[in-house]
A = this chain, B = another copy of it.
Amino acid sequence: MTELERMGQRAKEAARVLATAGAKKDAALLHAADALEQEMETILEANEQDLAAARERGMSQAMLDRLALNPGRIQGMANGIREVAAQADPIGRVLEGSVRPNGLRTAKVSVPLGAIGMIYEARPNVTADAAALCLKAGNAVILRGGKEAIRSNTAIAETLRKAVAAKGLPEDSIQLVQDTTRESSVAMMGLTGYLDVLIPRGGAGLIRSVVENSRVPVIETGVGNCHVYVDGHADLDMAAEIVFNAKTSRPSVCNAIETVLVHRDVAEKFLPEMKRKLDEKQVELHGCPITREILGDSVVPAAEEDWETEYLDYKLAVKVVESFDEAVKHIRNYSSGHSEAIVTEDYRAAERFTAEVDAAAVYVNASTRFTDGGEFGLGAEIGISTQKLHARGPMGIQQLTSTKFVIKGDGQIR
């Protein structure tokens, strides 16, 4: 039995206790939040060591920023855990049920998934967020973060484990894999029989690798090649605001847009207005030939790969389309199924767009940046699913549950 299999076995054992732990889970979470604040110094020291090692390896400033903790960020983690504790228990809800003609009473009840594996990259706050969400939904979790953050993650996980144990729940409710080589990640993908689901969270490369290779069921998250389509009947000022917001408010996240599609009828008027705003943030445009005719040579000629790329940067692809249908067809070809928006004042275009575009979130006259558990009123999220099975869109604690049928009778036979 490998070390990871032993962890898997301990996770299963812990999950069994968590499944019926009820309000103990909230007590443990609140205690864990306090503990993070009390252990702030230890966690910051561990993080300082991670940062020093990362600087030595020549990590970019942007990546160092993601890795860095400070008192405010630890406070943020603790408050995040308190918010999770404050949510209603997602376990034991009776979702539906009926009395059958033979008198059997059936009820479909929410239960935990069991043991969840998380594979993620640099940011240490994911350790606290994921642990809290999994625990609240009665699941044990095995966390496997990136090697850059291993000291920070270990300090956070140890703090959480002690806090959970202090409130009478198994400390193995939360486990962190110490081996951060590729091997441990591959081994987790084969941990059938122990893990009920594996959730990768990170860049497109990580997610593709997990989806392709895992034998444990996977929930695919987060890759976002998102579009705004500016219809022929759009309010153009609104469209310019939405494009500006969806591209520039935080370009590195999955719900930012990568391509704008503009209806031919409004392209001459809209594109210069859009460009004026985007110039404020030095957004680099990659345009189709008509876009370049209208906006001039400062626009980079767009190649096929521009329609396919999730820039995650101050870059935007622009295409003029002849019709609503061409816009929908382009989205169908290139969308990653994350978030798609139309800007229009036309009722039928709005209704057709929401019906015909196949994505986790489809918007009319709003920025794609709202695709987020908190913004949708679902509470904190463990990721945004871009698959159709089990969960789609922002995944909160409800999406970390399964169901069971409970059937009560008085001797019925078939």
Binding site for B on A (CB under 8 A): 16, 19-20, 98, 100, 104, 106, 108, 111, 113-114, 192, 196-197, 211-212, 215, 217-219, 235, 238, 241-242, 244-246, 249, 332, 350, 354-356, 358-367, 369-371, 375-377, 387-390, 392-393, 402-414
Does A100 contact B375, Cβ atoms closer than 8 Å? yes
Q: How far is the CB of A191 from chain B (nearest CB, A)?
A: 13
Number of copies of this chain that the complex holds: 2
Does A403 contact B409, Cβ atoms closer than 8 Å? no
A402 to B360, CA, bound (A): 10
Q: How far is the CB of A247 from chain B (nearest CB, A)?
A: 11
Beyond A393-B404, A407-B361, A413-B249, whether A106 also contacts B377 by CB under 8 A is yes
Does B370 contact A104, Cβ atoms closer than 8 Å? yes
Does B104 contact A389, Cβ atoms closer than 8 Å? no
Residues on B with beta carbons closer than 8 Å to the beta carbon of A390: 389-390
24 contacting pairs across A/B (C-beta < 8 A): A16-B356, A16-B358, A19-B356, A106-B377, A113-B388, A192-B211, A196-B387, A196-B388, A211-B215, A212-B215, A217-B217, A217-B218, A242-B413, A244-B413, A245-B414, A249-B414, A360-B404, A362-B407, A363-B408, A364-B407, A375-B414, A388-B402, A390-B390, A393-B405
**Chain A contact residues, majority secondary structure:** mixed
Does B389 contact A389, Cβ atoms closer than 8 Å? yes
- Which of A98, A377, A412: most chain B CB closer than 10 A? A412
A229 to B185, CA, bound (A): 40
Residues on B with beta carbons closer than 8 Å to the beta carbon of A366: 104, 407-413
Does B114 contact A388, Cβ atoms closer than 8 Å? yes
Residues on B with beta carbons closer than 8 Å to the beta carbon of A363: 407-409
Q: Name which residue of chain B comes closest to A19, CB basis.
A: B358
A364 to B408, CA, bound (A): 5
A354 to B111, CA, bound (A): 11
Residues on B with beta carbons closer than 8 Å to the beta carbon of A354: 406, 408
Q: Name which residue of chain B comes closest to A370, CB basis.
A: B414
Does A376 contact B100, Cβ atoms closer than 8 Å? yes
Residues on B with beta carbons closer than 8 Å to the beta carbon of A403: 392-393
A26 to B238, CA, bound (A): 41
Q: Beyond the given A114-B358, A249-B413, A367-B412, could you list 8 further A-B residue pairs with CB under 8 A, ordered by the A residue number? A: A20-B356, A98-B377, A108-B393, A196-B389, A217-B217, A354-B406, A365-B408, A389-B402
A392 to B95, CA, bound (A): 13
Q: How far is the CB of A145 from chain B (nearest CB, A)?
A: 23
A115 to B360, CA, bound (A): 16
Does B358 contact A413, Cβ atoms closer than 8 Å? no
Residues on B with beta carbons closer than 8 Å to the beta carbon of A387: 196, 217
A363 to B106, CA, bound (A): 9
- Which of A114, A196, A355: most chain B CB closer than 10 A? A355
Does B404 contact A392, Cβ atoms closer than 8 Å? yes
Which 7 pairs from chain A and chain B are nearest by CB?
Answer: A366-B409, A245-B413, A388-B402, A390-B390, A369-B414, A238-B411, A361-B405
